[in-house]
Amino acid sequence: MTLIKSISGIRGTIGGPSGENLTPPDVVKFTTAYVRLIAPRTQGRRPRIVVGRDARISGRLVADLVEGTLLASGADVIDVGLCTTPGTERADGGIIITASHNPRQWNALKLLNADGEFLSAAEGQEVLALSEEEGFDYPAIDGIGRVEERTDYNDEHIRRVLEL
């Protein structure tokens, strides 16, 4: 169908031709570009990126691609599993995998900053520009990231909301 690139993220239908839909190469390309935006802000330490998703059929597939790409790019991953978009705090950024109101064949990478908010227009444009560049060097074995599983975030989120 179509691949829509905007400052609020990358969304498209699952499968089909690369560059025209949300395919595995597209997920890797945009996730790598996102890490390239975030990494310089972490002052020499590994970026910590939260990854969460909704319950779409393609959610786990896309999450696995995102997590693998983040690890290969030298970022640590906090996997919060099924969560709401505000579930991205205490990290350098976040990628929430959800296509919100779109039909079931759609999914998206919603790119967030350290405050759990969408990237600014300038940051979104930078991610899109970085995604078009070739020749990114991925870290060697000692530079890959690690995954911290956190599947209980929904309970934590509910607890915090009730405290308000």
What is the DSSP code string of the chain?
A: --EEEETTEEEEEBSSSBTTBB-HHHHHHHHHHHHHHHGGGGTTSPPEEEEEE-S-TTHHHHHHHHHHHHHHTT-EEEEEEE--TTTT-SSSEEEEE--TTS-TTEEEEEEE-TTSSBPPHHHHHHHHHHHH---PPPP-GGG---EEE-TTHHHHHHHHHHH-
Side chain identity, residue 154? N
Are 116 and 88 a contacting pair, CB within 8 Å?
yes
> Can you tell me the distance from the alpha carbon of 122 to that of 100, in angstroms, rounded to the nearest whole number?
23
Greatest CA span in the chain, whole angstroms?
48
- The residues carrying an active-site annotation are 100
